[in-house]
Structure 1
């Protein structure tokens, strides 16, 4: 029990951090039902075997989201290989994401040299301990070679550091030079900075920027542009988030989140796909593109895969599914700092059907 006058909302970020648990449970459900493969998410969800399945609506949305982002990440790694360079990936607001481990056990594991995750200290601390408890996940980081504290001088076990994987605690709303600059640009022995400005770098935001002010997110994107441009680098950015919140369905989504003390200051300025693209060009990206999950499901998923997921569960709410998928988008932006447009200009989702 809380004493009289005590508020459970003293921590204004608790409700935002709780959304990561929702995402982890949704992914776990999609895995358990057979929509997607992820042998690692169970290690990051307490009592995973006891968690109830999510409705088909959520499972299908999780599949489309994962499928679209997976395609963009995989193509980035393949294009880096074609350019003769290794890639770097930075997942900002990574939460319970398992992409590093899925890539590290896949065919593209040798195409990237660094994978960096950043999130609130409370989340990175919890994730660091879960990883250390998992023999399977920890072994892929180098086992005993992994440091539990992100920074040797800062105790507490709030992150992890290995030769290839970094889990960094930071508040992305703070000025990037303070939150990330000193960490990402610091020199690692004889290997250069943690994040090299000369290598093709992909940054990923999955349901992150919607919880930040547009000013804070723009500053963050501009920092990465500036860092990449300091050594004629190539920068890609993938953003997944809700949008189009001005119609009746969008307002219902907003009200449901407000009931959980979650607001979306970073989603309100982007009511259309064009506005999502303009966000990239406004901060210095060379080009951008945006698609709703509805369009990705309809046009960018292979027909055999679409037929497979249609048989996983019975869904009698197709209209509601379309409404939900029409209010989430995956957008991607590209900054080319070394004139290699012929190599990187084709990066993006490719249509499977008309």
Structure 2
């Protein structure tokens, strides 16, 4: 059982999330068992409880991020799992590399799981990029999404001990067939080839540092 969950997002997004937590009992009730609602809200962009903390910060501003995490008493010596879903791709390669390097230096026993685009240098990838650009969505870090190797290199060059990566089509093909059949019954697929192309352009990449020798490098599919 994890000791505590920390969530980081832009301050404006965090403010909306905190509002939803405070106004929806299914979200707030688990947090106020040992706190009053007012004592949970430390300021407009952060909320803390025994098991969950949400912080408004820009991941590109590492000194401020570090200060806020220390304020809420994160313990870098504990084994820590980092989860990122289509986040690093919106940073420049230099910014995302600085972030994952800082994590590797600060947390000696950690795993970083990153889900985002891959194989973006083919025609399908170019169409994805063009569609996002038309919506004013700039993938500043797309250069690191060219292949599974480029995804892994970001971590290997930033102090992580071992890294693995799979595209989501490979992950999908590894699921038990009864689960695949159940999923496909729930969501009727009349464009299976399109789904396969889409899954080939997303990946899951996981990097490990294991000072405590917990066998984290053995975790995989």
- TM exceeding 0.5: yes
Is 2:188 the counterpart of 1:329? no
Q: Would you say the 8 A contact 2:47–2:55 is kept in 1? A: yes
Shift of 1:185: 2.0
Q: How does 1:1-354 map to 2 (within 5 A)?
A: 111-143=1-33, 144-146=35-37, 147-150=39-42, 155=43, 157-174=44-61, 176-178=62-64, 180-186=65-71, 194-229=73-108, 234-299=109-174, 301-338=175-212, 340=213, 343-349=215-221
Q: Would you say the 8 A contact 1:243–1:268 is kept in 2? A: no
Distance, in Å, in 2 between the alignment partners of 1:344 and 1:259 is 41
Distance, in Å, in 2 between the alignment partners of 1:225 and 1:246 is 29
Distance, in Å, in 1 between the alignment partners of 2:41 and 2:32 is 15
Shift of 1:120: 0.5
> Secondary structure of 1:311's partner?
helix
Shift of 1:303: 2.2
**How many residues matched?**
219
Structure 2 alignment gaps of length 5 or more: none
Shift of 1:313: 2.9
Q: Would you say the 8 A contact 2:81–2:111 is kept in 1? A: yes
Alignment-derived partner of residue 4 in structure 1: none
Shift of 1:148: 4.6
Shift of 1:302: 2.2
- Point out the structure with the larger strand share: 2
> Secondary structure of 2:82's partner?
strand
Structure 1 alignment gaps of length 5 or more: 1-110, 189-193, 350-354
> Secondary structure of 1:217's partner?
helix
> Secondary structure of 1:241's partner?
strand
Q: Call closer, same or farther: CA 1:261–1:222 in 2, change over 3 Å.
A: same
Q: Would you say the 8 A contact 2:118–2:167 is kept in 1? A: no
Shift of 1:208: 0.3
Runs of 4+ displaced beyond 4 Å: none
**Residue by residue, what CA displacement relative to the aligned partner does 1:27-75 show, whole Å, maximum 9, x if unpaired?**
xxxxxxxxxxxxxxxxxxxxxxxxxxxxxxxxxxxxxxxxxxxxxxxxx
Q: Call closer, same or farther: CA 1:322–1:159 in 2, change over 3 Å.
A: same
> Secondary structure of 1:244's partner?
coil
